[in-house]
């Protein structure tokens, strides 16, 4: 068996293993989300929340790679509210519709190119 055949078999085995892992993860998404949530809480407790953003991104990366629906997505699809974060429920700031600075007068089209005008 030459090197290219070994690589081909290894690639095939890895693809098959990843497929089985995704299938398992999709069948047990509640357990996986629960376990990752516990791990996230444990690390945040031990580090005082110092790395909470990194831990959260890592958890999202794992669930995304395995194809596990997130708790928020499941809540949306089920019509429930998203779970509360460690700091309480998620809130959204109201959107301001007025401009921050009112634009000044830009003059008339016939003034373009005249000294002191735009």
Query: 45: pLDDT confidence band, cut at 50, 70 and 90?
Result: very high
Average pLDDT, the chain: 76
Identify whether the C-beta of residue 56 lies closer than 8 Å to the C-beta of residue 40.
yes
pLDDT band of residue 42 (cuts 50, 70, 90) is very high
Burial string for 27-60 (b: 16+ CB within 10 Å, else e) reads: eebeebbeebeeebeebbeeeeeeebeebeeebe
Q: Tens digits of per-residue pLDDT, 50-90?
A: 998 998 888 888 888 777 766 555 555 555 555 555 556 66
Task: Read off the pLDDT of residues 94-109 as tens digits, 9 standing for 90 and up.
Answer: 666 666 666 666 677 7
pLDDT for res 110: 78
3-class SS of residue 65: helix
Whether the model clears a pTM of 0.75, i.e. scores above it, the answer is no
pLDDT at 117: 59
Residue 14 has pLDDT above 80, yes or no: yes
Nearest of 9, 24, 99 to residue 67 by alpha carbon:
24
């Amino acid at each position: 068996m030459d090197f290219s055949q070994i690589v081909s078999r290894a690639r095939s085995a890895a693809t098959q293993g990843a497929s089985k892992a995704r299938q398992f993860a999709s069948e047990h998404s509640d357990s996986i989300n629960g376990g990752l949530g516990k791990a996230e809480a444990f690390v945040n407790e031990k580090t005082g929340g110092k790395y909470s953003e990194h831990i959260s991104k890592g958890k999202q990366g794992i669930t995304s790679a395995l194809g596990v629906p997130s708790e928020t997505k499941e809540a949306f699809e089920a019509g429930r509210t998203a779970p509360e974060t460690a700091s309480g429920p998620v809130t959204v700031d109201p959107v301001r519709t007025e401009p921050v600075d009112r634009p000044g007068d830009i003059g008339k089209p016939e003034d373009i190119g005249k000294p002191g005008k735009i």
